[in-house]
Amino acid sequence: MLLLAAGALHAETADFKGEKITLIVPYKTGGGATVYTRYLAPLLEKHLPGNPSTIVKNIPGGSSLKALNWFARTATDDGKLVSNTGPAFFIKSLIGEPAVKYNTADFTPLIASRNGWLVYLRPELGETTGGFDKVKGKVLRYGGRSPTTGEMLVLIGFEMLGVPLKPIWGLSSGKRRQAFMRNEIDIGQDTMSSYHKHVVALIKEGQAVPWFTVGYIDDNGAVVRDPMLPDIPSFKEMYVKVHGKEPSGMAWEAYKAVLNIRVMSIRTLIIPRKTKPEILQAYRVAMEKVVSDPAVTGEKGKRVLGPYPHSIGAKAEQVMKAATEMDPKVTAWLKKWLRDKYGVGKS
């Protein structure tokens, strides 16, 4: 009887025995996305039923759009094609870039990994952590790569705080930090992984003052302090301090969506939503085992995949929903603001 039940159960579950799963990385070999995917690949092999083999394949080009368009076109319901994504996946679609040939709603996340973000200041400004009096009314020198990346988050934030910026574009995160150290820009910003490597030392030497974190979204969907830096106020508290009221309105809605993109799902693995239910279920179960595997929870896993817990299943869905389902009015506001303020999309 027991045997029979087990057999029936088996018939309905997916089995990947002898199969090959391809994990797409939409960037050049090397870099964080490749490392992230390569670290997870053997864990998927271990925990998926039938222990399939995996290969990690880099498809660079078009700021990740080439691979993502191809993935959307090619991936079927058999679960053999999985893609890694970064913020560009959401943002390019959000701002309506014409080269985007996929619909973010057609995909479901298997895992979404987080990375907090700290904003810090030059000590010459004399500002304190969480303070605003000294910078009030000042134009701050800002350095970044491009207003159309995840750093859009801080740009919206400064708009809401009413801090005028003098931007210099074209700086990768490393170059930005160097420019900050040379005192050529006032505002530094780094993810939590870079924070430990570089920013802690700067703060110790008195070369940087932590200002605020962009925030974090808790299980109830509320914007809270970053759990890795609980002593540093979040952007939301800054807003309350400056305006004396809770944030609301179009800008705040846009901010929350980009916060989901930039912090709550900085790296994800996605699969088509149309994937067969039993296969999707197998992935979900495997992912639960993956995130509790010592290789993920251990010291090495935290170093490579980030120190935060990972979202899977319904939670990952929730993050993705918050990141993609923006009210059309908010989208319109965001596009207009990016265009008027930073010339984005102006031809």
Partner 1 sequence: MDVILGSLGQLLSGWHLLFLVLGVLLGLSVGLIPGLGGLAGMAMILPFLFHMDMGTALALMIGLTSVTTTSDTFPSVLMGVPGTSGSQATVMDGFPLSKQGEAARALSAAFTASLIGGVFGALVLTGAVFVAKPIILAIGFGEQLMLVLLALTMVGMLTGASPIKGMAACGLGLLVGAVGTVDTTGTMRMGFELLYLTDGVPLVAMALGIFAVPEVIDVLRHRSTIASGGKLGAGWLQGVVDVLRHKWIVLRCAGIGCLIGALPGLGGTVIDWIAYGHVVQTSKNRERFGRGDIRGVLAPESANNAKEGGALIPTLLFGIPGSGTMVILLGGLLIIGLEPGPSMFARHLDLVFLIIWSIALANVMGTSICMGLARPISLLTTVRYTLIAPLIFSAVFFAVFQATRDWGDLIALFIAGALGVFMKRFGWSRAAFLLGYVLSDKVEEAIYQTVQAYGFAVFERPLVLILAAVVLISGFFVMRSKNAQAAMQDTGKNARRNVGPQLLFIAAMTAIPVWGIVDTAGRVYSMSLFPVSAAIFTLVFVALVTLSVLFKRAPNAELHDEENATVGRASVGSFYYLGWLVGLLAGAALLGFVPAVALFIFLFLRRKADLSIARAAVFAGLFVLVLGGFAKLLVLDYPAGLLQNFVTLPWPLQ
Rounded to a whole number of angstroms, the minimum distance from the CB of residue 152 to partner 1 is 10
Rounded to a whole number of angstroms, the minimum distance from the CB of residue 94 to partner 1 is 12
* Beta carbons of 89 and 30 less than 8 angstroms apart: no
**What are phi and psi for residue 174, nearest 5 degrees?**
-65, -45
Residues in contact with partner 1, total (CB under 8 A)? 62
Rounded to a whole number of angstroms, the minimum distance from the CB of residue 28 to partner 1 is 8
Contact status: 300 vs partner 1 (CB under 8 A): yes
Q: Which is nearer to partner 1, 92 or 236 (CB)?
A: 92
Rounded to a whole number of angstroms, the minimum distance from the CB of residue 140 to partner 1 is 13
Residue recorded with tokens 């799963």: 21
d(CA 43, CA 279): 17
Q: How is residue 77 annotated by DSSP?
A: T
Q: Site residues for partner 1, window 267-286 (CB under 8 A)?
A: none
HSE on the CB side for 222, CA within 13 Å?
A: 5
Beta-carbon contacts of residue 10 (< 8 Å; ≥ 6 apart):
none
Dihedral sign for Cα 150, 152, 155, 161, please: negative
Q: Which of 15, 19, 34, 125 binds partner 1 (CB under 8 A)?
A: 34
The Cα-based distances of 316 to 247, 321, 325 in angstroms read 25, 9, 14
- Say how many residues make up the chain: 347
Beta-strand pair 267-272/107-113: antiparallel
Rounded to a whole number of angstroms, the minimum distance from the CB of residue 257 to partner 1 is 18
Q: Which of 10, 17, 134, 175 binds partner 1 (CB under 8 A)?
A: 175
Contact segment (CB under 8 A) with partner 1 among 104-112, 197-205, 224-232, 310-318 equals 197-205
Contact segment (CB under 8 A) with partner 1 among 13-21, 189-197, 222-230, 269-277 equals 189-197
Judged by the rule CB under 8 A, the positions of this chain that interact with partner 1 are 28-32, 34-35, 38-39, 42, 55-63, 65-66, 69, 95, 97-99, 141, 145-148, 166-171, 174-175, 177-179, 181-182, 184-185, 194, 196-198, 200-202, 300, 303-304, 342-347
